[in-house]
Amino acid sequence: MDLRMQRLYVLLLVLGAVVLAEQRESLEKLKGSLLGLMDKSKITAQTKQQLAADLMSMAEPAHRPAPGAVQTLADELTAALGGKKISDRDGMRLARDLQTVLQSAGISTAELNWALRNAQTVLIPAGVTKADAQRIQRELDTIAGQVRGPQDLPLRAPRKQ
């Protein structure tokens, strides 16, 4: 391997490490915002906006969902999780599931569905009502549709007329 190739390889490794560190930082920030919802008395409009910003920061620049959809998700999460107890571990699990949905362009439908189901396994035990969990599920489905686009949707057999 010549010197240029070695330098390029090192540069790619450093760049990859920087990207991973930024993603980890964004994930920790999102988890912190989710865990911050446990104290219902501290939830304000700014709290909801910050959660929406943290969610949007997880989206890939080329596949960003509509800001309104992300704000609606933040509002639904805030309403559902406000005052509920979530462990640090479950907060991270939920943050990762949200990240998977927000970065779902190009992933398999099975992987997306796993993240959607896993989010429910955090929400319901935390005391979120089934109706609230379903509203959150609908918002996540909407966002996944925006992020993934028609090329990532599963193929369906044409309907018979």
Q: What is the pLDDT of residue 115?
A: 92
Least confident of 9-18, 27-36, 57-66: 9-18
pTM (two decimals): 0.80
Residue 156 lies in a domain: no
Q: What integer is the mean pLDDT of 65-89?
A: 95
Q: Predicted confidence band at 3 (pLDDT cuts at 50, 70, 90)?
A: confident
Domain that includes residue 142, residue range? 24-151
With vertex at residue 106, the alpha carbon angle to CA 103 and CA 112, rounded to the nearest 5 degrees, is 60
d(CA 61, CA 20): 16
With vertex at residue 67, the alpha carbon angle to CA 62 and CA 69, rounded to the nearest 5 degrees, is 110
Q: What is the pLDDT of residue 6?
A: 75
Residue 124 lies in a domain: yes
The total number of structural domains that make up the chain: 1
